[in-house]
Structure formats: structure tokens, C-alpha cells
Amino acid sequence: MMEQFCRLRWAFVCLFTGVIVGSAMSGPLLPPLPNTPSTPGVAGESKLANVSVAGDFIRVDWIVQDAAPFGFQGAFAYLYQIENTTTTPEGIFSFNVAFSVSATHTLDAGVLDGDNLDLATAYHAAHNADNFSNLGAPPPPAETEPSPGTLSPASASNYSVFVTSTGVKWNLIGTHIPPDSQSITLYIIDLRPPMYGIAVAQNSGMQWRTGETTISGQIGDPVPVPSPEPAGVLLLAVGLGMGVFFVRRRH
């Protein structure tokens, strides 16, 4: 029985990893990921699919780079910006990425107060085609930006950050990311190199996520996350947000 369970476990790991890696190769906005930290790193844009509304997507701009600007030489910085490109009036209340957390690997997680990933700062290059050619056109598809693309909310005090047993979750406190607006920059600092993995955004009634949905043919893109250990991949199937370890915010 134990031998059969072990075989089943590894079959699931291989299947899950294959699905994520296969979907990651879908276009120029999801480029190969680095094995070692670098500057300016690599960038992309992932579409998260509404699980129940046809043709509805939000975007996640991201950069994976050297974490030296954050004070962690030799680690990876995972930077995300949530773009609400839907017309849902309620907006977006939370965003999660899933991977196996290890206290010895995940060094920090938080938000950058007022930081727009589209503009160059001391922490990162600007997320545009001038710095990352795969974000431009031709060839299509090109990066999509919300219009007018304002930061809302722009203050770090509006975000809470939870590192859990299966990943990192950012919650909006008493507010939301409205349509045609972007979050400030969200980040994870981790020693592990990236792979493509699971992301989920939601409000009280809707969810946008990586992978298949209830809409035939509507599939959400993966996002870069720190590479989980094989046992950690199994945790991704169990759910997100269990076992809060700590809250940390960078101002």
C-alpha cells in the first residue's frame, strides 16, 4: 500500500509539474526563467482567468531579478504588480502565489510603498519593452496595460502580507484595486530559483487564477514562484493560506 502511495505521489508531482511547465511556454510574455539571480533579470505578463465568466482576465506584471537592491545578495527577488483589466465594480481584494515555504529559503515578503513596476526605481528596472524585449510587439502578443493605469491603493498601509505554509498572500485592508488600476509592487525574496506556478486573485464573489476554469478553453497563465521541493508540490493541491507564520511590510 505504501509503495502504491509513493508511486501515486510521484505521478502527481510529475503531472502537475508538466502542466505548469507546458503552459508556461505559451508565448513571448512567458519567457524562460533564470537559474541564477541577474540584473535586470527577466520579465513577463501573466493572464489570470476568471473561473466562471467567459473572456474575463486580469493581468499580473512580474520581474524576477537579483535581490541585491533589497539587501539580499545572491537571492532572487520576485516582483508582481496586479492589473485590474476587468470591469468588475467590486475590484480585487487579495492575491496569492503558491509554493512550499521554508524558513531557511524565504527571506522576506512585502510591498513597496507607492512603487509602480512600470517605472524604474532603486529596486528594479522599468517593466517595459525597452528593458525586456519580450514585452513589446512585434511579435504579438504585446503587454497589456490598464488605462489610465493609476496605482490604487498606492499606500503600503492598505496591504497586509502573510507568509503561509503554502506560499504568500497579500490582502487589501478595507479597500480594493478598482477597474483600470494597478496595485503597488508586491515582492518575495527567496534563495530558490524560479519555476512557473500557481497564482490566485479574488474578491468576495469572483476568482481569477492559473490553470483551467469552468469555462471551456479558458485557461489562466502561471507566474514565477520559488521552486518548491517535491513534497511541497503536493501541498499546492491542498489549498492556499493555511498556517500564517508572520506579517511583514516594507515602507
First-to-last C-alpha distance (Å) of the chain: 52
- Domain limits for position 216: 2-247
28, 20, 62: which is closest to 43 by C-alpha? 62
Q: Specify the number of domains making up the chain.
A: 1
Using left for φ > 0, alpha for ψ between -120 and 50, and beta otherwise, residue 230 falls in alpha
**Predicted local distance difference test score (pLDDT) of residue 32:** 95
Residue in the structure block whose three cell numbers are 506579517: 247
Using left for φ > 0, alpha for ψ between -120 and 50, and beta otherwise, residue 103 falls in alpha
**Predicted local distance difference test score (pLDDT) of residue 27:** 66
Digit-coded pLDDT (tens) for 182-241: 999 999 999 999 999 999 999 999 999 999 999 999 999 999 999 986 554 544 444 433
pTM comes to 0.84
Q: What is the radius of gyration, based on Cα positions, of the chain?
A: 17
Digit-coded pLDDT (tens) for 78-135: 999 999 999 888 999 999 999 988 889 999 999 999 999 999 999 999 999 999 999 9
**Predicted local distance difference test score (pLDDT) of residue 22:** 44
